[in-house]
Amino acid sequence: MFEREEFARTMSFITLVMTIAPLAAPMIGGYLLTWFDWRAIFWVLAGWACFVTLCIIFRIPETLPRENRPPMRIGASLRNYARMLKTPFAVGMIFCSGFSFAGMFSFLTAGSFVYIDYYGVSARCLAIFLRLISFA
54 pLDDT more than 60: yes
Q: How far is CA 83 from the centre of its chain?
A: 25
Asked whether residue 23 carries a pLDDT value surpassing 80, the answer given is: no
Distances in whole angstroms, Cα of residue 42 to Cα of each of 72, 75, 93, 105, 116:
31, 34, 31, 18, 20
For residue 94, the tally of other CB atoms under 10 A from its CB is: 13
Rounded to the nearest integer, the mean pLDDT of the chain is 85
Would you place residue 50 in the very low, low, confident or very high pLDDT band (cuts 50, 70, 90)? very high
pLDDT tens per residue, range 63-122: 888 888 888 889 999 999 999 999 999 999 999 989 988 887 787 778 778 888 888 887
* Mean pLDDT for the stretch of residues 15-27: 80
Residue 26: alpha-carbon gap to chain centroid: 13
38 DSSP 8-state letter: T
Q: Buried b / exposed e across 48-74, counting CB within 10 Å, b at 16+? A: eeeeeeeeeeeeeeeeeeeeeeeeeee
Decide if pLDDT at 135 tops 60. Answer: no
Q: How is the chain split into domains, by residue range?
A: 4-63+88-135
**Considering the entire predicted model, what is its pTM?**
0.58
- Considering only residues 58 and 109, tell me which one the structure prediction assigns the higher pLDDT: 58
